[in-house]
């Protein structure tokens, strides 16, 4: 049954001669029905946002864009930000927002390649120090990209050995190092997929976490990347609940909004996360496609406020 508003929207679309597919029409209805004044009220999920997804959405000035996004987050009830310039941290915290994740060495030049071992160690140590300064509990790490002549077994051991060298500092600081699994399937956009990434199997990444063997070395479970590469998301959340230290969201395919054009059904996934007892952050990391990116963010926040 269509609501009166949905019926009006459908009629107007048809009257205007605009041919929409079923998913396009549902997405339009989703936009039309999103409450432009929604604010998080349940707060069972501690929602954060990955700032890079909203680059240049409000202004071409990176700092001004970050602060504009922060104010929208505050209005919506999102409690933290990540993936933003470090020189914005102090102002973000003054607004009452947390920093949920500290960047480090980037996904391309990681410890699977011995050429980047010392660089990885240095960047992770720097990240730990920044995390201490801003009271953040997590620093991100990656395996890095495959390289010519690479032995998978040796590359995996390179990763484990490198991370083990950093873990005493992380443990002393009470900071988690979180390893992100990334998909290598999508080659349509530089941030929708990462062909050649070594840690593109979440089960393999979970094994690396266990091999490091530190309570402060965790898995960053990106629902979008897991959906693309592995699937069976809820079962894997249950399977790896003891080593998951952070979550990211996005729709699939397209890494777009969490709307009806995408195949991932987020409410039961979020319920499964809560059932594991997880109390950390879930960061929105979708690339907005709606005409109004703030409305898209409100929609995602509302969907995740279970």
Do residues 210 and 111 share a domain?
Answer: yes
Burial track 54-73 (b if 16+ CB lie within 10 A, e otherwise): beebbeeeeeebbbbbbebb
pLDDT (0 to 100) of residue 260? 87
How many domains are contained in the chain?
2
User: Is residue 98 located within the same domain as residue 198?
Assistant: yes
The answer for residues whose C-beta is within 8 angstroms of residue 11's C-beta and 6 or more apart is none
The stretch 230-255 carries a mean pLDDT of: 97
Query: 294 near 32, Cβ under 8 Å?
Result: no
Is residue 5's pLDDT more than 60? no
> CA-to-CA distance for 273 and 241, rounded, in angstroms?
8
pLDDT tens digits, 152-201: 999 999 999 999 999 999 999 999 999 999 999 999 999 999 999 999 99
Same domain, 217 and 297: yes
Q: Do 12 and 153 share a structural domain?
A: no
Question: What is the token pair recorded at 121?
Answer: 């160690």
Examine the domain organization and report whether 188 and 133 are in the same domain.
Answer: yes
21 and 159 share a domain? no
Which residue segment(s) compose the domain that 29 sits in?
A: 1-33
pTM exceeds cut of 0.95 = no
Give the CATH number of the domain where residue 137 resides: 3.20.20.150
Residue 27's pLDDT band, with cuts at 50, 70 and 90, is: low
Domain check: are 5 and 145 in the same one?
Answer: no
The reply to whether 101 and 13 lie within a common domain is no
For 164, residues 6+ apart whose C-beta sits below 8 A from its C-beta are: 212, 213, 214
Q: Read off the pLDDT of residues 75-110 as tens digits, 9 standing for 90 and up.
A: 999 999 999 999 999 999 999 999 999 999 999 999
Do 139 and 275 sit in the same domain of this protein?
Answer: yes
Do 120 and 76 have their domain in common? yes
In a shared domain, residues 14 and 65? no
Report how far residue 180's alpha carbon sits from residue 246's, in angstroms, rounded to the nearest whole number.
9
């Amino acid at each position: 049954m269509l609501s009166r508003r949905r019926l009006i929207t459908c009629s107007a679309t048809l009257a205007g001669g605009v041919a929409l597919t079923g998913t396009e029409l549902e997405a339009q209805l989703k936009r039309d029905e999103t409450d432009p004044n929604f604010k998080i009220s349940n707060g069972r999920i501690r929602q954060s946002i990955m700032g890079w997804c909203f680059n240049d959405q409000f202004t071409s000035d990176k700092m001004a864009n970050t602060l504009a996004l922060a104010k929208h987050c505050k209005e919506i009830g999102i409690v933290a930000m990540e993936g933003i310039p470090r020189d914005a941290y102090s102002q973000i915290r003054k607004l009452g927002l947390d920093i949920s994740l500290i960047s480090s060495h980037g996904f391309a030049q990681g410890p699977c390649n011995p050429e980047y071992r010392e660089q990885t160690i240095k960047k992770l140590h720097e990240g730990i120090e920044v995390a201490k300064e801003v009271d953040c509990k997590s620093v991100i790490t990656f395996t890095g990209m495959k390289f010519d002549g690479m032995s998978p077994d040796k590359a995996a051991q390179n990763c484990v050995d490198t991370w083990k060298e950093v873990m005493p500092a992380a443990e002393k600081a009470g900071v988690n190092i979180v390893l992100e699994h990334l998909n290598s399937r999508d080659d349509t956009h530089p941030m929708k997929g990462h062909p050649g990434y070594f840690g593109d199997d979440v089960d393999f990444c979970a094994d690396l976490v266990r091999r490091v063997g530190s309570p402060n070395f965790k898995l960053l479970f990106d629902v979008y990347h897991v959906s693309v590469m592995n699937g069976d998301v809820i079962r894997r959340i249950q399977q790896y609940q003891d080593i998951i230290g952070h979550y990211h969201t996005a729709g699939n395919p397209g890494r777009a909004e969490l709307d009806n054009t995408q195949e991932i059904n987020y409410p039961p996934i979020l319920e499964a996360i809560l059932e594991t007892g997880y109390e950390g952050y879930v960061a929105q990391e979708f690339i907005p496609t709606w005409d109004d990116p703030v409305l898209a963010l409100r929609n995602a926040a509302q969907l995740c406020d279970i």
